[in-house]
Structure 1
Amino acid sequence: MLEPGNNGTLLVRTPGLSRFNEIGHGFFSRHGGVSQGELASLNIGTAVNDDPDLVRENRLAIAKAMGADRLAFVKQVHGKEVVVLDSAPDKSPDPLWQTNLEADAIVTNLPGVFCAVAVADCQPILLYDPEKKAVGAVHSGWRGSLQNIAAHAVDAMVRAFGCNPAGMVAAIGPSLGACCAEFIHYRTEIPENFWKYKDEKDHFDFWALTRDQLTAAGLESQNIDCANICTKCTPEHFFSYRASRAAGRFAGVIGLKPA
């Protein structure tokens, strides 16, 4: 399940994306960082009462593990907006780039610029077009899933980079599985057209929903991997908000290796 990074981190990679040597990708576990207590140790969340200096050190560790020139983050808001990076974010030598733009996906075709999302039960979804050499990282919580953020990211890559969804590869990272995704108020929270993803215990299979949304966006089903790791079931390896409300955030990252 977990494989070592090059600096003490541990991460999950998926077979589909691992075929391409020109990119780096990974879903980082909570191991290998410097945060303490319930946030131990590789927390990258900035809104969980962690020391900002420790969060920065953790983010730098991820950038180093990926070999990234820049590690780019957006301000996640459980929506459907996508940030397109088609030119260098700025001229700063700082390897970390954080925009105040509110979005839940970030896409780019810039070598060395790695896209990152922060999650703890929400789905980290990674996208790659090997023809157009463009990547994307998506934060898809249940609210984002209902707004089809994954398809919005695919569409942004089509419009910005000329990607063909049929040739794209996707990976769904560790997140809340159907085993634990109980929604007792689903009748008021989730529109009825999504109830087909519910079992008799009021648990929803958002992995299946994401697969369906990606295939509806044009991806081939055989090009969509799922880690099939439930974060609530594995809090020893991944932060989970449902397992602990004081949870940190772990990273899903993808990028084109520096030229």
Structure 2
Amino acid sequence: MAAPSPLTFNHLNVFPGLVHGVFSRTEGYSKGSFLGLNVGLSTGDDPDIVKRNRALMLSSAGLTQALFLNQVHGTDIAVIKSEKDAAGAVWKGQGASPSKILKADAAVTNLKGLGLVIQVADCQAVVLYDPQKEVIANIHSGWRGSVADIIGRCIDTMVTQFGCTPASIRAGISPSLGPCCAQFINYEQEIPKAMWQYKEEDRPYFDFWQISRDQLGARGVLDEHIETMGLCTRCRTDLFYSFRANKTTGRFAAVIALKT
């Protein structure tokens, strides 16, 4: 039986000429609560099926190697300037699993052909690209990442490690928990007061899409270079996994790579 082709959203117009996309859950091999293209190995799904899903995703994107991170809602950023920096951690199609996983919540590289993958189920994947320096990044930004400004930290890394100019950087924000569903009952303990401006006036709902746009802008990324896909994962569980909607669920992927 022929392998299914996962649906890829390639309408991030700020990334012309790159391998990039957000993969929905609508195709893939997982069953039950993980139905579809689950790429998360820590979800409770059958690891062998997840590996098949990952291989399918890479094949669909035309990639033979990718970097999957051990995402922990922290602020560490993996800087990959040579194959040595990611030695043993690169996933290669249907081959053997990597011998190690880099613990980080963002990755930056200038290596061509290496896919940077972020796995999400309500959090944002924020993809960055500097066409002048040919540098890309992919960021896992949940509410903790937003509070810690991992987006700003990643742009700083692009500037200091690769000489990038923020005004040249393009940014895309994946489907994630939208302002319609980002409820934080305990926001007074979890969200700094400086971010309360993003809360609805009469309800504890926050607009993290706007928070991310403003964090990008604060580092010098131009507003016209930022694209938000504007799809709420909790509202669209037909297309995406959502931890808020279904505690036992998978992870969908956002991937970006420089073409070889």
Residue in 1 that maps onto 2:134:
133
Could you tell me which amino acid in structure 2 is paired with residue 134 of structure 1?
V
- Map of 1:178 onto structure 2: 179
Segments of 5+ residues of structure 1 without an aligned counterpart are 1-5
Aligned to 2:67: 72
CA drift at 1:61: 1.1
Q: What is the identity, as a one-letter code, of the residue corresponding to 2:65?
A: R
Give me the TM-score of the superposition, normalised by structure 1.
Answer: 0.92
Q: What pairs with 1:95-110 in structure 2 (closer than 5 Å)? A: 95=93, 99-110=100-111
8 Å CA contact retained: 1:73, 1:97: no
Partner of 1:168: 169
Contact 1:111 1:256 in 2 (8 A): yes
CA contact (8 A) 2:68 2:101 kept: no
Equivalent pair of 1:72/1:97 in contact (CA under 8 Å) = no
Q: Which runs of 4 or more aligned residues in structure 1 lie more than 4 Å from their structure 2 counterparts after TM superposition?
A: 96-99
CA distance in 1, matches of 2:57, 2:100: 18
- SS class of match (2:236): coil
What CA deviation, in whole Å up to 9, does each residue of 1:124-173 have, x standing for no partner?
11100001111111100000110001111111111221111100100001
Deviation, 1:99, is: 4.5
Give a deviation string over 1:28-87, Cα, whole Å, max 9, x none.
Answer: 100221111110110011111111111111111111111123110111010111001111
Question: Structure 1 pair 202/214, CA: closer, same or farther in 2 (3 Å)?
Answer: same
Instruction: Output the amino acid matched with 1:35.
Output: S
CA contact (8 A) 2:108 2:158 kept: yes
Aligned residue type for 2:45: D
The residue number in structure 1 matching 2:247 is: 245
Aligned mates of 1:205, 1:239 — CA distance in 2: 19
TM-score, normalised to structure 2's length?
0.92
Following TM superposition, by how much is the alpha carbon of 1:7 offset from its aligned partner in structure 2, in angstroms?
5.6
- Residue 204 of structure 1 corresponds to 206
Within the candidate set 212, 229, 232, 1:230 is matched to 232
SS in 2 for 1:176: coil
CA distance in 1, matches of 2:98, 2:138: 15
Instruction: State the distance in 2 between where 1:52 and 1:93 align.
Output: 14
2:92 aligns to what? 94
Question: Given that residues 75 and 99 in structure 1 are in contact (C-alpha distance below 8 angstroms), is that contact kept between their aligned partners in structure 2?
Answer: no
Question: Quick check: 1:123–1:174 contact (8 Å CA) kept in 2?
Answer: yes
1:3 maps to none
CA distance in 2, matches of 1:165, 1:240: 31
Match of 2:7 in 1: 10
Match of 1:147?
148
Match of 2:117 in 1: 116
Asked if the contact 1:116–1:252 (Cα under 8 Å) also holds between the matched residues in 2, the reply is: yes
In 2: Cα distance, 1:93 partner to 1:254 partner:
14
C-alpha change, 1:169 and 1:7, in structure 2 (3 Å) is farther
Shift of 1:13: 2.4
Deviations 1:88-142 (A, max 9, x none): 1337893465753321001111110010000000001110000111111110000
C-alpha separation in 2, matches of 1:175 and 1:110: 28
Q: CA separation of 1:97/1:128 partners in 2, compared to 1, >3 Å: closer, same or farther?
A: farther
- RMSD over equivalenced CA pairs, Å: 1.7
Secondary structure at the aligned position of 1:100 is classed as coil
- Are the counterparts in 1 of residues 167 and 222 from structure 2 also a CA contact under 8 Å? yes
